[in-house]
Amino acid sequence: MTTSESTRKQFIDYIMLHVFDDQYIDRQEEKKILEEGIKRGMTVEEGLAIIQQVALEKGVVIERQAEDRAKEMLARFVANDGKIDKKEFEDTLAIFKNATKGRLPEPELKRRLKKMMNDNGWNAKEGGLFGTKWYSAIT
């Protein structure tokens, strides 16, 4: 099914209205935008493609994509030695923070990264003789 050009333009305007203030699409906004696309006769795939196109052209951050990038990075780190050390976590945090353009506070980003690690069964490397409990300190 192809969407008419006028419907597509209206949908883009609808997206732009949602990101007018903050240039950021969180998961709830993304779902709401997609629901509007479905109401206009689009498929989910068409809606996602248009959202991604707008994000790319206008520099809008899509939260889900930023989280996916961070998750991929953590997966690469854990593949090395089976654990994620403090430096690897901090490197991922920096990329995640950059990808979200600072829209989320650092403590929230840390909690999300820790949740990703817990959800995937990835362990942190902490402690040791002179180590700290950096991972356990994230609340």
Measured in degrees and rounded to the nearest 5, phi and psi for residue 52 equal -65, -40
Going by pLDDT thresholds of 50, 70 and 90, the confidence category of residue 108 is very high
Entry pTM: 0.83
Q: Where are the beta strands (DSSP E) in the chain?
A: 24-25, 61-62, 83-85, 123-125
The residue-averaged pLDDT of 61-79 equals 96
Measured in degrees and rounded to the nearest 5, phi and psi for residue 30 equal -60, -45
Residue 72 has pLDDT above 90, yes or no: yes
Going by pLDDT thresholds of 50, 70 and 90, the confidence category of residue 34 is very high
Rounded distance between C-alpha atoms, residue 24 and residue 67, angstroms: 13
The pLDDT assigned to 111 comes to 97
With a pLDDT cut of 70, the percent of the chain lying above it is 96
- Residue indicated by tokens 């995937």: 120
